[in-house]
Structure 1
Amino acid sequence: MSHEPSKTNFIRQIIDADIASGRIAAGGVRTRFPPEPNGYLHIGHAKSICLNFGIARDYGGQCNLRFDDTNPAKEDPEFVAAIEADVRWLGFDWGDHLYFASDYFEALYACAEELIAKGLAYVDDLSAEAIREYRGTLTEAGRASPWRERSVAENLDLFRRMRAGEFDDGARVLRAKIDMAAANINLRDPTLYRIRRAEHHQTGNAWCIYPMYDFAHALSDAFEGITHSICTLEFEDHRPLYDWLVEHVTLASRPRQYEFSRLTLQYAVTSKRRLTRLVNEGIVDAWDDPRMPTIAGLRRRGCTPAAIRAFCERIGVTKSDNLVEMELLDACIREDLDATAPRAMAVLRPLKVVLGNVAEDHVEYLALPNHPKDEALGERQVPFTRELWIDREDFAEHPPKGFKRLVPGGEVRLRGAYVIRCDEVVHDADGEVIELRASIDASTLGANPSDRKVKGVIHWVSARFGVPAEIRLYDRLFNVPFPDREEGDFLAFINPASLAIAQGVVEPVLAAADVGARFQFEREGYFCRDAREPARLVFNRTVGLRDAWSKVAGRT
């Protein structure tokens, strides 16, 4: 065992006890991550990925990646490829252990026939609606189907004819024969197979009957020798069925299921059904929209794998409700990028400044460090010219109390350059400020240019050499902390200000930035060059410099 004490949780304690008791051998831990390929992975899946692959790594075991592809009507090879990419991006590798539930369709079918032969499963002709009605409620026992007592021979015949395609979709199902009066509704003769004619992305049209998730999941775990099948708490009530299946089918191994609390992140939804609606109804651009809590969206927004792993480590693994503030995720991202992201200057809302005492053809290259705390990241040459862009919010003609930036007649220091004084304000016909006339104090360049101090330091970009860029300012997608817990449609709580687009100007060095490259735009936050539009210069805001990252206008 190599896991650190800080990583200890109740699941690791169970594994330690299993090794100590001899139930499993040291190095014999087998876990799995079993996503359904019906959408992209989200931050909640990241928690499960880090848990399952992390346990396998720390105990010298193995974690399988297994796709639960039992519902072809909602699955797509695009989702398979995206899931594989996301797991790899997070830093985990399944080696040769990539599986699909569809790999086991023949074996699963044989298990179903075994249950029928044992009198533990039957073919039912009730409709889906009637099955729900017969199932009963939490306070009332269910009723037996009129077809519950069919003979083994008849059930085998009908089930084989279901496979052969003799019956219409929905005409018949195969159900386990357990207990219609069980306190746990999941044991009231659950459906094991249904007829569904849909082309499967792995098996084509070879099958027209497909196993239900609970059936395929438990038995696939057994086929693969999984020792610890780790699920979220919503599957806790399904565990008795899981145990029933592995007990009543002839298997070489008997896996056990354990549950932990799922992640609920503020100002986001992590239901695949709701995420699908966001995409299909055009609320977001795609599954990798940077406002989405998908791993692809977080990656495109500029998050690093290390930050997401750190976040999953911090939130821990318990059985208690895992309600997590968005600020914690932001903090993990910010901490990682603070140490690794090169600095650069970008003006999001350009206002021109003309320096009257600088020659029109003057070009001066100033050496600025790429990181204030890491000399290994080197420095860059930033051109300084007569005409500059500064951020419009860094000037106030009628400043509020405490304003520390540029005002008429006032001085500020340009980051890494000179102190300038605003000498004149130019307005257009409507009275809007369109230009500032200013002058530099030539004695103020350098680390200790003079003993004269100014209160404000602002960033800037040369108007001559600056490069236009689209800068996308992403904020929370929802305007309430838990939109899926509010009454009514969760889409009613979409934040209309979740995306603002600025046409800004950036340092010339950023024109050659690789797609996906991350930077700290000084005084603005952390940004990433958008990977989806490589032909354009587009930067996505990853996270602000402070917790209230959406309130950039409040900076001083």
Structure 2
Amino acid sequence: MSEKEDPKKTNFIRPNFIRRIIDEDLAHGRHARIATRFPPEPNGYLHIGHAKSIVLNFGVAEDYQGTCNLRFDDTNPHKENREYVEAIKEDVHWLGYAWGERLYFASDYFEQLYGFAVELIEKGRAYVCALDAEQIREYRGTLTEPGQESPYRERPVAENLDLFAHMRAGAFPDGTLTLRAKIDMASPNLNLRDPVLYRIRHGVIHHRTGDEWCLYPTYDYTHPISDALEGITHSLCTLEFEDHRSLYDWVVANVSVPCRPRQIEFSRLNLEYAVMSKRRLTQLVDEGFVAGWDDPRMPSIAGLRRRGYTPEAIRTFCERIGVTKADNLVEMAMLENTIREDLDRKVPRAMAVLRPLRLVLESYPEDRTELLTVPNHPKDTTKGTRPIPFTRELYIDRDDFMEEPVRGFKRLVAGGEVRLRNAYVVRCVRVVKDRTGAVVELRCTHDPATLGKNPEGRKVKGVIHWVSARQAIAAEVRLYDRLFTVPEPGAGGRDFRADLNPASLHTLTLCFLEPGLAAAAPGDRFQFEREGYFVADKDSHPARPVFNRTVTLRDTWGQKMGGRKTGD
């Protein structure tokens, strides 16, 4: 495996409480080898929070020379489909992990799960209940009051077995009967108050089993049995499942599975200026607030990939946030700084003018094209050089000129000098305006003695980027920003959609790039000098390149919010 693909380079190598538990289990001979699993539900695309779990589960398995299964929890056919399955597989693979033949589906175990349910009935530990969903909630009780036993709790075993068989055969409508575990309606843990194990669902087509089943098991019943059937030793999940651990243990203790996995919970990833709920992310997609699951503003892995993030940066980010039991809100700047660091080391430089202003060098021959040789990376000579055409007519960025400069402005002004990056020092001698008074062109002269250097005794502080007007290529550039305006969207019970950032996407349709970028393929990344890091979008083609901004060179959001500058 290449360095780019090697996930071990950024695994959770620092000690954490999960590794200490595993080390203790191995030291006491509880396991001969370690087995973990990543069990997503195929009801949406994965997001950055799932990346933490992926890196943890696969990383632990690799570091302990164990195994990690990819298993789809596909027990809810109303929301699941094949598109999500394939997208999840692509994301896990892109992050640098391979599951080989260890690909499983909960639906692989439907027949065995049914058999274990029959076993529970025969042992008197499960019963068929005719209370509807609302009545089950009423009977459940509260955190301070015990629940009430269902009037069907003491059905005879033979009657339960007969009803359950008819439930499978499709003899009863949706919602009329459920199979419930018989545990303890007075338990302080509400999850143990006779939870539902099976429910009837007619008229849905499962993405793998079709219409074979009309009886589907719940997650809390399916998950521990699936873990046990696969020989999982440590079932790592996020803290919202901590209260479900007692039910997990009850299930594996009361059916004849081959082993008893250990569930361990860790804090989920909560990221500023983002939502980590699949339900909310689905709303954003379905209601048209974003252009699909891979919209570069989304915290989905597909969105981050399209925005230009690298798997190495995401794995490094997951390492840095660590594995703890404490919930916390991770700063978006931490994720952004991680991708800056990664791209700064790797990607070549290029020049792109996003808001063009024409500059004409009156002292430069009209028919001359000069090929300047410039480095692809200022810190890494192994990345080579590239030729850039220099001509009489150029484009510079409109923000690099001020007719009446403010204090501290170090770029081009009327009558002033500035260096064109890797080229000459130029002086602005005339400003051309249209009828409205808007600046449309700058007339300048150049100093031939200043190519790539400052002659002795001459100091020019300002350096700006440029492209040849004659040979530059037109492009569309999409400037992405944070999707929400506040760190915790929807906090305080308000509609999270009210916190959407209306300026999260700014599309520039007439940008000019140095000509070599016409050959950029979708996914190719660059630093546009003085602008930020960009990636060629999947919509890009040689005749009309399209680039997405991955991240700015510095934390411009932090500057807007009054924070300190970060980045390079």
- State the superposition RMSD in angstroms: 1.9
Q: Is the 8 A contact 1:412 1:456 kept in 2?
A: yes
Which of 109, 128, 133 lines up with 1:123 in the alignment?
128
Question: How far, CA to CA, are the matches of 1:121 and 1:304 in structure 2?
Answer: 49
Per the alignment, do residues 242 and 555 of structure 1 end up closer, same or farther by CA in structure 2, a change over 3 Å counting? closer
Residues 1:140 and 1:532: Cα distance change in structure 2 (over 3 Å)? farther
Matched position secondary structure for 2:526:
strand
- Offset at residue 169 of structure 1 (A): 1.1
Aligned with residue 315 of structure 2, among 309, 314, 321: 309
The one-letter code matched in structure 2 to 1:225 is G
User: Secondary structure at the residue paired with 2:265?
Assistant: strand
Match of 1:341 in 2: 347
Instruction: Kindly provide the CA deviation profile for residues 14-49 of structure 1, in whole angstroms up to 9, marking residues without a partner as x.
Output: 000000000012xx1000000000000000000000
Question: Which AA in structure 2 matches 1:65?
Answer: L
| Partner residue, 1:14 | 21
For 1:417, the equivalent position in structure 2 comes to 423
Which residue of the other structure, out of 19, 44, 47, is the alignment partner of 2:49?
44
Counterpart of 1:105 in structure 2 is: 110
- Alignment correspondent of 2:30: 23
Q: Secondary structure at the match of 2:446?
A: strand
**CA displacement at 1:295 relative to structure 2:** 0.4
Q: 1:79 aligns with which of 80, 84, 102?
A: 84
Query: Structure 2 residue aligned with 1:65, among 49, 70, 78?
Result: 70
Match of 1:242 among 239, 245, 248: 248
Query: Superposition pairs for residues 12-411 of structure 1, below 5 Å?
Result: 12-25=19-32, 28-197=33-202, 198-411=204-417
Letter in 1 for 2:422: G
Q: Distance in 2 between matches of 1:339 and 1:10?
A: 33
Give the aligned residue type for 1:407: V
Task: From the superposition, tell whether residues 555 and 31 of structure 1 become closer, same or farther in structure 2 (CA, over 3 Å).
Answer: closer
Shift of the 2–466 alpha-carbon distance from structure 1 to 2, 3 Å rule, reads closer
* CA drift at 1:348: 0.6
Matched position secondary structure for 1:486: helix
SS in 1 for 2:413: coil
Contact in 2 for aligned 1:315/1:322 (Cα 8 Å): no
Aligned partner of 1:539 among 539, 542, 547: 547
Tell me, yes or no, if the aligned pair for 1:307 and 1:333 is still in contact at 8 Å: yes
The 1:551–1:346 alpha-carbon spacing in structure 2 relative to 1, beyond 3 Å, is farther
Alpha carbons 2:337, 2:567 under 8 Å: kept:
no
Matches of 1:413 and 1:438 in 2, distance apart? Answer: 12
Q: Where do 5+ consecutive residues of structure 1 fail to align?
A: none
Q: Matches of 2:122 and 2:541 in 1, distance apart?
A: 60
Query: 1-side partners of 2:482 and 2:11: how far apart?
Result: 34
In structure 2, distance between residues paired with 1:342 and 1:141: 65
* Percentage of pairs with the same residue: 66
Q: In 2, Cα distance between the equivalents of 1:444 and 1:533?
A: 37
The Cα shift of 1:365 comes to 0.5
Q: Deviation at 1:57?
A: 0.4
CA 146–554 in structure 1, closer or farther in 2 if over 3 Å, else same: closer
- Tell me the TM-score normalised to structure 1 length: 0.97
- Cα shift at 1:438: 0.6
CA contact (8 A) 1:3 1:58 kept: no
Residue type matched to 1:530 in 2? D
2:11 and 2:288 map into 1 onto residues whose CA distance is 44
Higher alpha-carbon deviation: 459-468 or 446-455: 446-455
Unaligned runs of at least 5 residues, structure 2: 1-7
User: Aligned partners of 2:397 and 2:11: how far apart in 1?
Assistant: 47
Structure-2 residue corresponding to 1:515: 522
Q: What letter matches 1:546 in structure 2?
A: R
TM-score computed with the length of structure 2 as normaliser: 0.95
1-structure distance, mates of 2:185, 2:348: 64
User: Is the partner of 1:72 in helix, strand or coil?
Assistant: coil
Q: Residue 479 of structure 2 aligns with which residue?
A: 473
On the 8 A contact 2:284/2:290 being kept in 1, the answer is: yes
Residue number in structure 1 paired with 2:534: 527
Paired AA for residue 125 in structure 2: L
Deviations 1:454-495 (A, max 9, x none): 110000011000111111110000000010323311000000
Paired with 2:89 and 2:364, the residues of 1 have a C-alpha distance of 56
| Contact 2:475 2:512 (C-alpha < 8 Å) held by counterparts | yes
CA contact (8 A) 2:369 2:390 kept: yes
Cα shift readout 1:334-369 (whole Å, capped 9, x = no counterpart):
000000010000001000001111121110000010
Kept after mapping to 2: 8 A contact 1:123/1:174: yes
CA distance in 2 between counterparts of 1:550 and 1:78 reads: 37
Cα distance in 2, alignment partners of residues 551 and 87 from structure 1:
35
Measured in 2, the distance between the counterparts of 1:184 and 1:256 equals: 19
| 1:493 correspondence with 2:520 | no
Is the Cα–Cα contact under 8 Å of residues 2 and 58 in structure 1 kept in the other structure? Answer: no
Question: Which one of the candidate residues 439, 442, 457 is aligned to 2:448?
Answer: 442
What amino acid does structure 2 have at the position aligned with 1:540? N
Cα deviation digits, residues 114-160 of structure 1 (max 9, x gap): 00110100111111111111111111111111111111111111111
Cα distance in 2 for partners of 1:487, 1:413 equals 53
Asked if 2 retains the 8 angstrom alpha-carbon contact of 1:370 and 1:377, the reply is yes
Is contact 1:291–1:474 with CA below 8 Å preserved after alignment?
yes
Query: Match of 1:506?
Result: 513
CA gap 1:393/1:4 in 2 versus in 1, 3 angstroms: closer
